[in-house]
Chain A
Amino acid sequence: MKILLVGGHYKAHFLAKSLKAKRHEVVVINDDVEWCKFLTNAHDIVCVCGDGTKPFILEDARAAEMDAVAAITNKDAENLVICKLAKKLFGVKRTLAVVNDPKNLEVFTRLGVDKSISATEMLSEVIESETVFAGVQSYLPLENGRIACLDMVLSGDSPVCGRALRELDMPQGSIVGIIVRGEKTFVPNGDSVLRAEDKIIVLTSAAAADDATALFGADGG
């Protein structure tokens, strides 16, 4: 993918590094000349120096050729303008924006930004998931927290070990999506029998998340 990163200091640096490592082509727009020089040298990428909310700067960075544009400045209004210009003027398919005020998550979605991310919101979700679901290895909220993806390892004394999935009283709105057993990964059916040390990925509605974790004995240890 060709990805354009607009603004951001360390965010641009770390994103460029991680995206390059995943073999994406990265172009950066930054208004700090010295930081542009540093980014170009550090990551061997094209860096356009200027204000990314200006159409001609986006054009210099060949915005029209991008698969995705990520607006990561620290001003919400700038990020909105960058995404709208990318979409309307350059026909970019996927636009992402960082929002500093979590309230703007909904505002940006309604104004046509494809995906917005709030660091504050994510941090609070992490803190919440750490405290609410002890024992769950990771908790990934989706669709603004309405759905969650849980990652659990079954301990030997979990009541579900040795039982087939169809025998379990799964809460309404949750399903075991994948079982990871040693090197093997498979999508289970009703006959699949759970074993100790199995890692299971459960998709669940937020409402059923507590019941799902309780069922697999994740918080009982």
Chain B
Amino acid sequence: MAILRHEKKEKAIIVGCGRLGSQLADLLSDANQHVTVMDRDDTSFRKLSASFGGLVLEGDGSDFDMLVQAGAHEATILAATTDDDDVNIMVGMIAREILRIRLVVIRLSDTGKKAAIADSGIAVLSPSTLCVEAFDRLVRREETA
């Protein structure tokens, strides 16, 4: 089983090694995927766990050449998780529309900006929306209890 999973390795790129990006990178690394994490600031990589087995690359993920250097042209997963919504949108669009990466996920704090990438096939993770959904589930559970 472990060998099978090993063969199914996918290449993932995480742009932005903050709290979210570093945890995503750890998750994928623990699942035995090829992971490359990018961040403009190399001290950010300290957030990665000691068991992290992927690569780190210091650089700006919205720079096309840097993305290519990170191997984005052969990646199947890309997550843009910097603290800047505009940068995440730009990275997401380059990944999806130019590099044709299969699964592109970006974090957006301001959900209003989703309109900029409508119909592009980019998945959006919005912390506030996710919190509201979780909150809603908690309330419902209390009501039914």
**Which A residues lie at the B interface, using CB under 8 A?**
53-56, 75-78, 80-81, 84-85, 88-89, 101, 103-104, 107, 110-111
Contact = CB atoms under 8 A, between A and B. Distances in A.
Interface of B: 62-65, 84-87, 89-90, 93-94, 97-98, 110, 112-113, 115-118
Contacts of A76: 62, 90
Looking at chain B's contact residues, is the secondary structure mostly helix, strand, loop, or mixed?
helix
A39 to B, nearest CB: 23
Given A81-B86, A107-B64, 13 more contacts: A55-B113, A56-B112, A77-B62, A77-B86, A80-B86, A81-B85, A85-B113, A85-B116, A101-B63, A103-B64, A107-B94, A107-B98, A111-B98
B63 A80 contact: no
Contacts of B64: 103-104, 107
B89 A103 contact: no
B102 to A, nearest CB: 18
Ordered nearest first, which 6 A-B pairs have the shortest CB separation?
A77-B86, A84-B116, A77-B90, A89-B115, A55-B112, A77-B87
A77 B63 CA distance: 10
Looking at chain A's contact residues, is the secondary structure mostly helix, strand, loop, or mixed?
helix
Given A81-B90, A110-B97, A53 B118 contact: no
Contacts, number: 56
Contacts of B117: 84
Nearest to B111: A55
A54 B86 CA distance: 10
Given A75-B86, A107-B98, A80 B93 contact: yes
Nearest to B62: A77
A111 B90 CA distance: 9
Contacts of B97: 110-111
Contacts of A85: 113, 115-116
A81 B113 contact: yes
A101 B90 CA distance: 13
Contacts of A77: 62, 84, 86-87, 89-90
A53 B115 CA distance: 11
Contact of B110 (A54, A78, A101): A54
Contacts of B115: 55, 85, 88-89
